[in-house]
Amino acid sequence: MTQSLHTDTRQGAGGTARGGDDRAPLFARLAGLAASLPVVLIPGSAIYMMVWARWTFYERHPDYIQQSAPTVSRAITDPYIGDPFAAAIVAVAVVIALAAVPIAYAYYGAISARAGHMPKVAASLRRMMALFLVMQALGTTGMVICTQITFRHDHDLHMLGSYLFFVFQALAILMSGIITTRLMRLPDTGRPSYLRLGSRYTRFRRAASFFTAGLAGLYVALFLVKGMDLPVTEYTIYYIYTVQEIVTISAYITQVMLYAPEIYRIVRTFVASGTWRLEGAAAAA
């Protein structure tokens, strides 16, 4: 009887976990969409902008491409390409900065849910989360620097921004995969978590984080060997390198987009219940 009452109390806070979607107010769902769609659409537009930048550079500078394949950095030195590209990246940076708040909340909540009863483990995971946030901040800062300051402004400062972006964004994504792996290996305490650690989607995103880190490693390898004597033409290896650049950056961006479901659930829960409490997530999710 006591167990039955406890179950009813948990479910009565906002509906059953299974029926939450049906009972969530329409306004709460719309708020969740309003918060999560920009996380998909605005970063996704940057992938299009990269392809557009390279294609447009091909059209506007046919003489250059006879000698070498253009990197994104080279393409945006043309103000016709660089100015709209820089504006798009600023929008992406704003979205990432805003999205970092609910993403961090979801991770810290998952740490409390899975490791709250293990102080040393929880403290270690929280330190890793702090490191992840620092890496993400440095990666985003580098992204802004290398698009706002092109080769025509300051070559060295542009390269600094580029290094910050590629290195720390890769490390941040790798760290997110490591944290998720550690959380998934901990026993399920039954406490709700926005990350839904047992779902196939979370497993996919974890796998994608390691895959993306691998792509970054391949990009670094190509960066190091592109100037060496190889059994292929310099143009060929440089072309592969520039294609890999777009693939790697696209993977970085996609990794951010994959957090849209968590942002949707967090905002929807808050609007529906007026609280960020994780206990409310089980009812509203």
**Which pLDDT tens digit goes with each residue over 156-175?**
999 999 999 999 999 999 99
Tell whether the model's pLDDT for residue 209 goes beyond 70.
yes
Q: Determine the pLDDT at residue 28.
A: 86
Confidence of residue 233 (pLDDT cuts 50, 70, 90): confident
Is the CB of residue 122 less than 8 Å from the CB of residue 116?
Answer: yes
DSSP string, 100-115: HHHHHHHHHHHHHHHH
Q: Determine the pLDDT at residue 9.
A: 37
The chain-wide mean pLDDT, for the chain, equals 86
Tell whether the model's pLDDT for residue 16 goes beyond 50.
no
Tell whether the model's pLDDT for residue 99 goes beyond 70.
yes
Is the CB of residue 216 less than 8 Å from the CB of residue 170?
Answer: yes
Q: How far is CA 225 from CA 155, 209, 215, 228, 242, in A?
A: 21, 25, 15, 5, 13
Per DSSP, helices labelled H in 61-150 are 62-65, 72-75, 79-115, 119-148
Q: How far is CA 173 from CA 49, 206, 208, 249, 251, in A?
A: 22, 9, 9, 12, 10
Q: With CA atoms as reference, report the closest residue to 127 among 179, 165, 194.
A: 179
Q: Which two tokens stand for residue 162?
A: 């580029």
Q: Determine the pLDDT at residue 6.
A: 39
Confidence of residue 24 (pLDDT cuts 50, 70, 90): low
Q: What is the pTM of this model?
A: 0.84
pLDDT tens track for 257-267:
999 999 998 88
Give me the mean pLDDT over the 190-219 stretch.
90
Tell whether the model's pLDDT for residue 224 goes beyond 60.
yes
pLDDT tens track for 135-161:
999 999 999 999 999 998 999 999 999
Q: Determine the pLDDT at residue 64.
A: 85
Tell whether the model's pLDDT for residue 72 goes beyond 50.
yes
